[in-house]
A and B are shown apart, each in its own frame.
Chain A
Amino acid sequence: KAGVTQTPRYLIKTRGQQVTLSCSPISGHRSVSWYQQTPGQGLQFLFEYFSETQRNKGNFPGRFSGRQFSNSRSEMNVSTLELGDSALYLCASSLVGQEETQYFGPGTRLLVL
C-alpha cells in the first residue's frame, strides 16, 4: 500500500501570497490531520478532517484553512503568507476507529521570502 503522499515537497513563496498544499491519505484512511513544524514552535496541530468535515482545530489564525474531498484527499490553504509561516507542513492519515494510529507523510517544506 502506498503511504501518505504530500505535494509539493518544497515550495517557495513571497509574503502576501497564498499557498495550497495537498495530502493524499493511505487508501482506506478517512481521517486526515495537518501539523505545522517550526524550529521555534515545534510540532503544532492545525486541524483534523473526517468525511469532508473539520472535527478539530488548533490555535491558528483564520488565514489557515483546509478542506477534505469525498475521496478523503485533503488540502490546506494559507492566505496572506507571513515570514513566520515558513515551516514543514505534515499531513497524517488514519483509519476510522483507529484515529490514534496516525501515519505521517514526508511533509511539504514551505519557505516564505
Chain B
Amino acid sequence: AQSVTQPDIHITVSEGASLELRCNYSYGATPYLFWYVQSPGQGLQLLLKYFSGDTLVQGIKGFEAEFKRSQSSFNLRKPSVHWSDAAEYFCAVGLNTGGFKTIFGAGTRLFVKA
C-alpha cells in the first residue's frame, strides 16, 4: 500500500537557522510528490511539487526539496527560517489512477525560536 512517512512530529529551529524536514514514501513507481504548509485555522498551501526532471525542486517562500529515488525520500529544506514559517508541513504523494488521489503524511509541526 502507498504510504508517506514524516518521522518528525515536531521540530524546533532558531530563527535564521537552516531547516530540513524529512519525508519518505512507499510506492511502486515514482508518484507525484508534494509539500504543503498549513497555518493555524487555514487550508493547505502548496509549497512545491515534483514528478520528473531535475531532482532539486524550487518552491515558494524560499523552500526547496530534493527527490532521491534510491532512498524514496523527498526532504524539504530552507536555508534560513523566518518566524512566519512556523506552521505544520505535510509531505504528500499524488496518484493518478483514473482519478487523482493524494495521500498525506502525518505532518511535522515547525516551531521557530526567536
The reply to whether B51 and A100 contact each other, CB–CB distance below 8 Å, is yes
Contact pattern, A 12-46, Cβ under 8 Å of B = 1, otherwise 0: 00000000000000000001010100000011110
The reply to whether A48 and B104 contact each other, CB–CB distance below 8 Å, is no
Interface of chain B: mostly helix, strand, loop or mixed: strand
Distance (Å) between the CB of B47 and the closest chain A CB? Answer: 12
Distance (Å) between the CB of B74 and the closest chain A CB? Answer: 14
A99 within 8 A of B: yes
Contacts of A92 in B (CB 8 A): 44
The reply to whether B32 and A100 contact each other, CB–CB distance below 8 Å, is yes
The reply to whether A104 and B99 contact each other, CB–CB distance below 8 Å, is no
Instruction: Give Cα distance in the complex from A33 to B102, angstroms.
Output: 9
Which listed residue (B45, B98, B100) contacts A94, Cβ 8 A? B100
Contacts of A105 in B (CB 8 A): 43
Instruction: For the complex, count residues of A whose C-beta is within 8 A of B.
Output: 26
B97 within 8 A of A: yes
The reply to whether B106 and A90 contact each other, CB–CB distance below 8 Å, is no
The reply to whether B96 and A99 contact each other, CB–CB distance below 8 Å, is yes
- For B31, the closest partner residue in chain A by CB is A100
Contacts of A90 in B (CB 8 A): 43-44
Contacts of A107 in B (CB 8 A): 43
Distance (Å) between the CB of A73 and the closest chain B CB? Answer: 17
14 pairs across A/B with beta carbons < 8 Å?
A33-B100, A42-B105, A42-B106, A42-B107, A48-B99, A56-B101, A90-B43, A99-B96, A99-B99, A100-B32, A100-B34, A100-B51, A102-B100, A107-B43
